[in-house]
Structure 1
Amino acid sequence: WAAVLAAATIAIITAIRAWKPLWPALLIAVVLASLAAWALHLPVETIGTRFGSIPSTLPFPAMPAVTMERLVALLPSAISLAILGAIESLLSAVVADGMTGRKHRSNAELVAQGVANIATPLFGGITVTGTIARTATNVKAGAHGPVSGMLHAAYILLFMLVAAPLMSLIPLAALAGILALVAWNMIEKKEISKLQAWPTLSVLLVTFLVTIFRDLIEGIAAGIILSIIINFLLRRTRGG
């Protein structure tokens, strides 16, 4: 049923975009999928069944306990998360630039992310970063600038305070369908069809497979490492 619901979500979004392009296709598809899963008692996982109930109030800010031992223990992980978060955020910004024709400001992006990651733990939150999936979804939904990100945060807060129980009913399959459609739309199919050199195709294929079966960051790292190795071998071959 999860696959059926995901496919139905994709079909609804595609149909609405073709019929009524100005309508919020993603939101309508999620609402319809949630109603169908709830009314028909479909055996699919929802946000509530997978992650538990969504809180309807904000936690009171508080300083975490800070000791030298804890700082030393967390420092390596903190540095790793900061580097990976910066890489993923800037990659997301580059993708958004390509989709919108705008030009992001790297320093502003990283400073804002740093401030957010300093403030978030005060409310019991975890490290945040810009992601390609959410960025692309936002752009495909009609976003044109950074105000959309602010509204995104405001809407999440509003839904949490007003409709937290309803959000728990959203099927994960519906969200998977949305992400699959976004990923498909992100692919520059014409550019891929132009690729003929085996080094480029190898890097593309390895990055794709590692990202699918492992993780985005690992996929990017694998692609970069393979690209470096191939370039090194090609230079040695030509030099020899």
Structure 2
Amino acid sequence: MLENPRSPRVRAVAKLTKRSAREETGLFLLEGPQAAREVLAYRAETLVELFATPTAMERHADIRDAARAAGIEVEFTTEAVLDAMADTVTPQGIVGVARQSPTSAREVFAAAPRLVAICEEVRDPGNLGTIIRAADAAGADAVVLTGRTVDPYNPKVVRSTTGSLFHLPIAIGAELETVAQLARAAGMRVVAADVGGTDFLAARALLAQPTAWVFGNEAHGLGEDALAIADLSLRLPIYGSAESLNLATAASVCLYETAFAQRAEI
């Protein structure tokens, strides 16, 4: 059992809360039983280490059994060690270390997707995690991160996805213009979500076709250059008195409306 919160091994895990350590090692931190279940179910080959308190393993016997089936040994720790490793105040007794497994934009569009979420300059970890989760729930084929979008392996992003990070391809490292070209070559329409765009309802029927949505920065939206790259810009109508919609909420609506339209065509 690991008992020393200051041991080199514990410190190495704790460092993964920092982007520099994640980039250097190619690893990332995941916390809590839900993340452990999802990585074991969908990406067990990426899981490097799994730490837990004895109490947590008693409570979550399914995780213990799944780890055993995957050939992964659970390392028992004290509560103090778990607290030292984790990014959260209450890590729920389980912490894991996994290998990052991003894909490329080229691979995403080579698979002939019908629905893709492109995040351009999305900087808030909670928003990005929620968009990934919504894309997963809406049946999107992938999420593509462009510009200076936050690291998808940031612990707050990982938590916000509630496991969806392990369900669908996440592409990083491409610029928006290149991604748009790849999307068009794959037969997709590139649609920007923008408050200055055409009313959503006026172009709703177009969403039945393969669609790549572009979502911009929380504070500034999409810049003129980004809007010029898109084939079309749409805005969600505001029927009440709200000044605007939160980015992740708006993205969820756009993705689900597209999923509804595409499935009506099947």
Q: Which has the higher helix share?
A: 1
Q: Could you say which structure has the greater relative contact order, defined with CA pairs below 8 angstroms and 6 or more residues apart?
A: 1
- In the superposition, the TM-score normalised over structure 2's length comes to 0.26
- In the superposition, the TM-score normalised over structure 1's length comes to 0.28
Q: Which has the higher strand share?
A: 2
